[in-house]
Amino acid sequence: MEIVRMLKGRDFLTLLDFTPQEFKYLVERSYQHKHGLVAGKPLEGKSVAGIFEKPSTRTRVSMTVATYQLGGNFMELPTSSLQVSRGETLKDTALVLSRFVDAIAARVKSHSTLEELAKWATVPVINMLSDKFHPLQALADVFTIRERFGERKVKVAFVGDGSANTCHSLMVASALYGYDFVVVAPEEYWPDKEVLEKANEIAQETNTIIELISDPREGVKDADVIYTDTWLSMGVSDVDKRLEVFPPYQVNGELLSHAPEHAVVMHCQPWFIGQEITADVAYGPKSIAFDQAENRLYTAKAVLESIIP
């Protein structure tokens, strides 16, 4: 009961703001939503403003359907259709939206945009992806791993771009949930130092390990989960360099032959088949990527219901 009360009114910008107990509650609550154990329409009469500076399929649809199923209304607001496109400040946007809606969700280019919105909004602000973090995704990822492996301790290997949103959030989520985590990436694409330091503080508390490895075969050798994401996240500029350094990190049959037989493959999608993952792996028997995508719905419901007062 205490956790339920603690979550109300909170922003959901990064999982670094949550305790292991709070994060575990959100995973458990996602399970309850998936299995029809939550009654009523907790968002009846409530609205969520959904600001998009970048494209989205899974996040946009899961948040829309989640809000609807909880009894509320999700408004899609591409920034090109808002007055911010004509120079209205984020401050005024946040102050005005707060007079109409019960939460502001935003997918932004720079994480600082979310921080500015959250500074002025008087309603909770939810990160639907920034350059630095993708917490809604990581919650669904851990929920999907828990669904597959039960209560046992798991080791997650993130293979590819360790410096982007997906890896950052999954690293923090793994530490919060009690999973060991290994970043398997070229050194220049290892995680942001500050995020790593904070994730390590959580890992100490939860008795888990975070490793950084640049050899892909070594990195996957005792992993239960092999996770990858695009090498070319939205907004990156060093495309040529990335296409040069990342190919040894492709998740393909050869790499998987160095992982345990029982290992599963995950990807937040959208994927770029032939770059970070091959078609036989993406659509093959080890892939749980579509369960992962489906689970975005239940985890979105858990977050919306928990933080909107």
H helices present in 107-164, as ranges: 111-120, 135-149
Q: Are 46 and 72 in contact (CB under 8 A)?
A: yes
Bond prior to 270 in cis (omega within 30° of 0): yes
Residue 68 CB, nearest approach to ligand NVA (Å): 22
Quick count: other Cβ atoms within 10 Å of Cβ 290? 12
Q: Could you say whether residue 82 binds ligand NVA (CB under 6 A)?
A: no
> Of 56 and 275, which CB lies nearer to ligand CP in the complex structure?
56
What is the C-alpha to C-alpha distance for residues 207 and 146, in angstroms, rounded to an integer?
18
Of 98, 166, 174, 287, the one binding ligand NVA by CB under 6 A = 166
Residue 60 CB, nearest approach to ligand NVA (Å): 11
With CB under 5 to 8 Å by kind, the binding choice for 34 among ligand CP, ligand NVA, none is none
Query: Which residue in the list 134, 168, 242, 267 is annotated as catalytic?
Result: 134
Helix/strand number for the chain, H first, E second: 13, 9
Residue 171 CB, nearest approach to ligand CP (Å): 16
In 3D space, the residue among 208, 211, 207, 235 whose CA is nearest the CA of residue 159 turns out to be 211
What is the C-alpha to C-alpha distance for residues 133 and 130, in angstroms, rounded to an integer?
5
When CB distances to ligand NVA are compared, the closest residue is 233
Query: Which residue in the list 137, 250, 275, 292 is annotated as catalytic?
Result: 137
Of 130, 137, 275, 278, the one binding ligand CP by CB under 6 A = 137
Examine the residue annotation and report whether 167 is marked as an active-site residue of this protein: no
With CB under 5 to 8 Å by kind, the binding choice for 164 among ligand NVA, ligand CP, none is ligand NVA
Residue 296 CB, nearest approach to ligand CP (Å): 7
Q: Is the dihedral of CA 292, 21, 38, 14 positive or negative?
A: negative
Q: Which residues bind ligand CP (CB under 6 A)?
A: 56-60, 129, 137, 268-270
